[in-house]
Amino acid sequence: MACAPRTSVVRSLKVNDTGYASTVFIGDLIDFSPVTNVFAVQREIPVFYGDEGHLSAYPIYSSPLPRARLEPAVQMDVTNTSPVICAGNVRVIAISAASMVQFGSVRSIRSEARVKNIRQLLRGLPPK
């Protein structure tokens, strides 16, 4: 880890909802790599077929993701004045797909969420 491990203390934590591939983590973490693929179809008339949702039919799920440019390494010295990370009362409404709430240090995060939304409206009617 880049920083010396510290103790994480959270007085209280209330999370209403976590999405797919999401997490709540208290403490130090080396790597976090959540991945989620979402396929959502909204229909004006709710009809469901059993053979829908083949992700291979949509390039969004297989095309390579752009990568961030890696800047030259930065040398730094960190001095933590306290060996404890303290959080009081924390309330989280929602943690979305492939994301996290963390109290502590993390070395590396590689997060990926791919979402395909399809809306099927009746022909002849203007969208609402």
Q: Where are the domains of the chain?
A: 8-64+86-120
Using one digit for the tens of pLDDT, what is the confidence trace for 61-96?
A: 999 988 877 788 788 887 888 888 899 999 999 999
**Is 60 exceeded by the pLDDT of residue 125?**
no
**Is 60 exceeded by the pLDDT of residue 1?**
no
Cα separation of 10 and 87, whole Å? 5
Using one digit for the tens of pLDDT, what is the confidence trace for 12-56?
A: 999 999 988 899 999 988 999 999 999 888 888 888 878 878 899
Q: Assess contact for 7 and 80: CB atoms under 8 A.
A: no
pLDDT score at 90:
95
Enter the pTM of the model. Answer: 0.69
Cα separation of 83 and 32, whole Å? 23
Q: Assess contact for 97 and 111: CB atoms under 8 A.
A: no
